[in-house]
Amino acid sequence: MGKLWKKTCAICGNDFKVYGSSYAQKYCNTCRDKYFKFLDEWAKAGYPIKTHCVICGAPLPKRTRGAGLKKASCDGECYKLLTTLYQQNARIKREDLIVMPRRPKKEPVKRRKPGQMSRLGELEAAARAAGMSYGEYIATQLRGMKQ
């Protein structure tokens, strides 16, 4: 196993541990899960413009037009953190889609053996043997059933 590192969360300030290649992580798992949930709910709401930064809580200046994640965070470190969280959340969702099991293949259509006829083919052959078209043959059979 890799080396154990002790770091401080950039969002809540609590200490957390990371292993080996996760050294670049800047936030604890609790904050990550909290902001993943926020990002999902924010996406479902249609990304409305926020009045306060979702990371630090500072009031955001009124903007006539917000763009992307700047609608929910102040510039600088908060924006970088929110962008990192957003990208990590998107990557996890993509990976979940990639490893989804494939749909089962449909069973192949059963072909008839040469010489076998379908019910429709048998009715057509019987109609031709009686000297009628298929429609006339079916009509006479239906008239016979009604009587």
Whether residue 7 is contained in a domain is answered as no
What is the number of structural domains in the chain? 2
Alpha-carbon span 18 to 7, nearest angstrom: 7
**Between vectors from CA 68 to CA 65 and to CA 71, what angle results, nearest 5°?**
60
Whether residues 92 and 139 share a domain: the answer is no
> Does any domain span residue 74?
yes
Q: pTM value?
A: 0.56
Task: Judge whether 61 lies within some domain.
Answer: yes
Which residues span the domain enclosing 128?
A: 118-147
Q: Rg of the Cα trace of the chain?
A: 34
CB atoms within 10 A of CB 43: 11
Q: What is the pLDDT of residues 42-80, one digit of tens each?
A: 888 888 888 888 888 888 877 645 667 777 888 788 888
The answer as to whether 33 is a domain residue is: yes
Q: Is 144 part of any domain?
A: yes
- Same domain for 40 and 90, yes or no, is yes
Over residues 7-42, the pLDDT tens digits come to 888 888 888 888 766 667 888 888 888 888 988 888
> Domain check: are 134 and 83 in the same one?
no
Query: Among all chains, which residue has been given the structure tokens 């031709």?
Result: 128
Is residue 19 one of the residues assigned to a domain?
no
Give the length of the chain. Answer: 147
Same domain? 79 vs 122:
no
